[in-house]
Structure 1
Amino acid sequence: MIPRIYIPGDSGALALGAEKVAKAVHAELADRGIEAKIVRNGSRGAYFLEPMVEVATDKGRVAYGPVKPSDVKSLFDSGFLTGGYHKRWLGAPDKIPFLAKQTRLTFARCGVTDPLSLDNYKAHGGLKGLQNAVAMTPADVVSQVTESGLRGRGGAGFPTGIKWKTVLDTTADRKYIVCNADEGDSGTFADRMIMEGDPFVLIEGMTIAGIATGAAKGFIYIRSEYPHAVAVMQKAVEIARKAGLLGLNVLGSPNSFDMEVRVGAGAYVCGEETSLLDSLEGKRGQVRAKPPLPAHKGLFGKPTVINNVISLASVPVIMDKGAAFYKDFGMGRSRGTIPIQIAGNVKYPGLYEAAFGMTLGEIVDDIGGGTATGRPVKAVQVGG
């Protein structure tokens, strides 16, 4: 059995030295004459442990982190290819407290799979939602999303099902699905993590949205500050198209849907949905007056669904497990899970996916571990 080593290619991990670690591992393998497969996975979101290197063993995956290039030789000396103990040893990734306590639905594959392997995606439950969607009527798909209680994850919290139904019920010769990936709020990185670590879940969610509303074309609008996410998404779209997930007759069904990646020009205002539409049309991004709403008159004057990355990436699990399953998480009118992005002066910065209902104190003190300096918390900036 050829050893399989997972080294994150996520932007956050790269900023912390993951590329240097990968080169050191490559060099050590060559020096020792060991044949192994290196998988550049996404990040699991525990950035205080990045770069986190994992190895697949007979007893499951074993994690080490944060790994420095200078640690690599001693890792091999410690037998890390079979899970041997080292000062950077963390054990099974899903047993790490920060990860073990999470409710991972949308981010279930982030850091686990090869982002650009469609076979790996399917092996971990991918495409089941789309397979169910193509066998249903558009109205039934919209009904499932509505009943799940899914709301916009970009900040406004507008019910996703209502937005989809409006576009479905609007007669037009052409409709569009637009994914707002211009992630600009301070300290946010959830959208980027999905695009870099599990791009096919976003493609699947957008395709389901197209089938549900009668739209045949989609656009992913990514901020220019995310070049790595742009590259990964572009490759994923090409792979999906070649595999028959995009284009004519999606998964052999009568439905047709295709998409393309568009890159913003750096204007912060284009994170607002109508400014984003102007930018997609080749204009200067400016906020449009409402009404008309984009659902009635959006991109190029046609009915348009505009959803955030996380909203669309949450759809596949709903269509796979059912509306009732998703709705069982959360509280009140806020159903499902939310990716909490913790940054700043905290002991455990990273992404934590949990059901709605956590208090600010739990997020900062329990999950974040309090301040990194050990001093009392004096202020918390809430965004997103």
Structure 2
Amino acid sequence: MANTIVRVGMASCGLASGADSVYEELSKVLVGDENTILKKVGCIGLCSYEPLVEVEIEGKRTIYGYMTPELAKELVGSSFRPTSALKEKIIYSDEETQAPENNRMAKQVRIVLRNCGIIDPEKIDEAISRGAYEAFSKAVKEMSPDEVIDEVYRSGLRGRGGAGFPTGLKWKFTRQAKGEPKYVICNADEGDPGAFMDRSVLEGDPHTVIEGMAICAYAVGASHGYIYCRAEYPLAIKRLNIALDQARERGFLGDNVFGSGFNFDIEIKEGAGAFVCGEETALIASIEGKRGMPRPRPPFPAESGVWGKPTNINNVETYANVPWIIRHGASEFSAFGTEKSKGTKVFALAGKVAKGGLIEIPMGMPIREVIYDIGGGIADGKEIKAVQMGGPSGGCIPSWLLDTPVDYESITATGAIMGSGGMIVLDETSCVVDVAKFFLNFTQRESCGKCPFCRIGTKRMLEILERISNGEGKMEDLDLLYELALQVKEGSLCGLGQTAPNPVLTTLKYFREEYETHVKDKKCPAKVCPSLIRYTINTDLCIGCTRCARICPVGAISGKVKEPHEIDDAKCVRCGQCKQTCPVSAIFVD
């Protein structure tokens, strides 16, 4: 039996960084090696180090970052005893206590991500070897539907899609609703900028989501399920289709599952990428072949969902928790977290953080600990300014509130929301007006247009933000912006419009002085807003290398070789490429 396992991270993050060429090289050099198993796995989580290769020898794991085909060949040639060049690439090790990411991994609790980066997601036997479908078997063979619902309810699991509604209670409503047939839906329409949690789970361990849906279907009495996944996730859809076919072949889906008389199957519905379809009633409309637009509630989907029948909707992460809960028990799950927020939460850690990636932490961990102990602090030695949580529907939490614990109530109290799990770190070079404008521009474009408050109100808000960032704002604009935000929040039909003002409201609340500087002084403190900054060259520092002139897209820089250059401010488009290119830091932003 092979005693060495080599895993290559082949999720979207790894493939984008060249993991496929690393895998191909390993495939060549390991031909005929019966003592080594080579695997394609999903996201290992340490995305900032991609491509990643993990070597497991007799249960001891070592993860190498920034791998290349040449280093992969060297690794095999050394019989997996790392050379000096390879030692520098070790980022995690069971044996080397000084590996840089040991502490980061130790602080995490992996329930949803328990198999991601471990199993080959396209081989059901590997999932089964780690307990896949055992919980489903236990539920169908040993528990009544009501007992399953009670177990999920007692675990304290709340919906991980953003609202945080008790999952067991939602299932109970669907079970009690009148009407047949009943449906279960997995909302995999992950559309937040900077979010990649659901995609990574589907790419790395699709069977846990399928199993969670099957357990839910048994509990609520459904016979058919839909996974609504955006078409921009081709790898996730590919692996889901493979997993569904394998589950059918093994008898985990289809008619008379486990000989119990229970029938259940799942189909995939590919969404066109409309952010509004993350709202459950718009999602239902899309599944039915209609335009994805929200409808008033009640009735809620539990009573009247897809095709007008009782329907339970949860997101990817919520379903992925369920098999673990049924296998280990509600009390084991509720041992993690806080009094009202149980279990763990998966986050996509991104932005100006030093070490971004996919993480899973116990609820209640302070934001500061997440950023500094797991994320490695702020990149380039800058100072942290804020954390945007909840994506376009969330808000900015300032640096002085970093000790806020990650739980539903505490995050909501800041004006942000937990959301589905996006955590974007902002540093001193981030402009809050620009950040608010970015997210509002996104939600304004993604509005379905049904509500005047959302359709027109967000447009007027965006126009105000544009005036402010262009140096044309007035002090009364700030009060008007706040008033409009409240009206949009109050008058919109669905969650998109109701939460769209959150980035504006939180930045106004915590960073009003920065808004006022834009308005009164016509300056952008972060030196981001193009209309409020000016690029200049310090002639005492400039060496006349011409790099800046050659890279300028509009020909705004002139000067002779080995002589100081200058920038024509009238032509300059403030792209910043010259500043990034200058080898002697002679270009300044005022």
Separation in 2, partners of 1:320, 1:29: 37
For 1:240, which of 234, 247, 270 is the aligned residue?
247
Separation in 2, partners of 1:63, 1:261: 34
TM-score with structure 2 setting the length:
0.62
Q: Displacement of 1:172 after TM fit?
A: 1.3
TM-score with structure 1 setting the length:
0.94
Change (3 A) 1:101 1:272: same
1:265 matched to 2:265? The reply is no
**For residue 117 of structure 1, what is the aligned residue in structure 2?**
123
Q: Is the 8 A contact 2:229 2:271 kept in 1?
A: yes
Q: Is the 8 A contact 1:164 1:209 kept in 2?
A: yes
For 2:182, which of 162, 175, 190 is the aligned residue?
175
Separation in 2, partners of 1:360, 1:89: 27
Q: Comparing 19-28 with 101-110, which one deviates more in the overlay?
A: 19-28
Over 6 Å off, 4+ runs: none
Q: Comparing 154-163 with 111-120, which one deviates more in the overlay?
A: 111-120
**For residue 378 of structure 2, what is the aligned residue in structure 1?**
371
**For residue 57 of structure 2, what is the aligned residue in structure 1?**
57
Computed over aligned residues only, the root mean square deviation of the Cα atoms, in angstroms, reads 1.8
Three-state SS of the structure 1 residue aligned to 2:247 is helix
Q: Equivalences for 1:68-107 in 2 at 5 Å?
A: 68-80=68-80, 86-87=86-87, 88-90=89-91, 92=93, 96-107=102-113
1:11 matched to 2:18? The reply is no
Separation in 2, partners of 1:274, 1:241: 29
Q: Displacement of 1:34 after TM fit?
A: 4.5
Q: Is the 8 A contact 2:180 2:310 kept in 1?
A: no
**For residue 44 of structure 1, what is the aligned residue in structure 2?**
44
Q: Is the 8 A contact 2:103 2:373 kept in 1?
A: no
Separation in 2, partners of 1:58, 1:332: 39
1:214 matched to 2:221? The reply is yes
Q: Deviations over 1:302-331 (max 9, x none)?
A: 000000100011000111111111111110
Q: Displacement of 1:91 after TM fit?
A: 5.0
Of structures 1 and 2, the larger Rg is shown by 2
Amino acid at match of 1:277: I
Q: Equivalences for 1:220-235 in 2 at 5 Å?
A: 220-235=227-242
Q: Displacement of 1:125 after TM fit?
A: 2.2
Separation in 2, partners of 1:277, 1:316: 25
Q: Is the 8 A contact 1:93 1:99 kept in 2?
A: no
For 1:306, which of 304, 313, 320 is the aligned residue?
313
**For residue 325 of structure 2, what is the aligned residue in structure 1?**
318
Separation in 2, partners of 1:125, 1:260: 23
For 1:205, which of 199, 202, 212 is the aligned residue?
212
Question: What count of residue pairs does the alignment treat as equivalent?
Answer: 381
Separation in 2, partners of 1:366, 1:99: 10
Separation in 1, partners of 2:345, 2:72: 35
**For residue 27 of structure 1, what is the aligned residue in structure 2?**
28
Q: Displacement of 1:93 after TM fit?
A: 6.2
Separation in 2, partners of 1:123, 1:83: 29
Q: Equivalences for 1:338-377 in 2 at 5 Å?
A: 338-377=345-384
Q: Which runs of 5+ in 1 are unaligned?
A: none
**For residue 159 of structure 1, what is the aligned residue in structure 2?**
166
Change (3 A) 1:138 1:83: farther
Separation in 2, partners of 1:139, 1:73: 55
Q: Displacement of 1:355 after TM fit?
A: 1.3
Change (3 A) 1:120 1:27: closer
**Bigger relative contact order, structure 1 or 2 (CA pairs below 8 A, ≥6 apart):** 1
Separation in 2, partners of 1:19, 1:93: 26
Q: Deviations over 1:255-307 (max 9, x none)?
A: 11110111101212111111110110011100111111001000000000000
Three-state SS of the structure 2 residue aligned to 1:187 is coil
Change (3 A) 1:91 1:359: closer
Q: Comparing 256-265 with 126-135, which one deviates more in the overlay?
A: 126-135
Q: Comparing 226-235 with 127-136, which one deviates more in the overlay?
A: 127-136
Q: Which runs of 5+ in 2 are unaligned?
A: 391-418, 420-590
